[in-house]
A = this chain, B = another copy of it.
Amino acid sequence: MAEVIDRRALRTRKALHSALMSLILRKGYEATTIQDIIDEADVGRSTFYGHYTGKEDLLRNGFQILRRELTDAQRAARTGTDGAQDEPLGFSRAMFEHAAGYADVYLAMVGGRGGVVAIGELRKVLSEFVRKELPAARDDGAVSRELVVQFVVGTLLTVLTWWLERRPGLTPAQADAMFRRLALNGAGASIRTRSRVG
């Protein structure tokens, strides 16, 4: 659909996307105006509207790219080191690796800077992956399947945000380990100090 070929158009779109990222990191999505974007990207006003209907459209468009990249990374990881592929929540490692490579982009999305739109889109993309990873999960009466999906996505975002904002020194593997521990076993072990397991 709508194959873009002309170099000029590609140049413009890349400039707009990267301008938006810079501005989100600098002053947040909500506070960023289209005027800011076209100034930062050095692009004419009418040119912007020739490509996108507004800043929300521009942002959403970026997520299509992210989704593609993440899917590819997923596939690569799956075919690469086989063995760890059918672990529960085995998809997360590739995501943390990807986030390490594009830390600035993820940082722009996460933690409020990207506004409701960014978090919403990110949740949507991650939910797809999580659902794919929990195909046969039984819906035990206690906790519904969809709640489990939301819980896992929420935990993923919590660890991701905490990692990028407060412990950027950790390796993707370390962040992933914390995510798996919390998502699979909860925080009980870190909370119950005096009471026993039973």
Contacts and interface: CB of A to CB of B under 8 A. Distances in A.
Interface residues of A, number: 48
A137 B192 CA distance: 8
A116 interface: yes
Q: How many copies does the complex hold?
A: 2
A89 B187 CA distance: 11
A185 B184 CA distance: 7
Interface string A167-198: 10000000001100111111111111101000
Interface stretch (A13-21, A42-50, A98-106, A154-162): A154-162
Given A184-B186, A191-B184, A150 B162 contact: yes
A191 B151 contact: no
Contacts of A192: 88, 184
Contact of A191 (B112, B134, B157, B195): B134
B143 A181 contact: yes
Contacts of A190: 137-138, 140, 142-143, 145, 148
A146 B120 contact: no
A34 to B, nearest CB: 15
Interface of A: 30, 88-89, 112, 115-116, 119-120, 134, 136-138, 140, 142-148, 150-152, 154-155, 157-159, 161-162, 166-167, 177-178, 181-193, 195
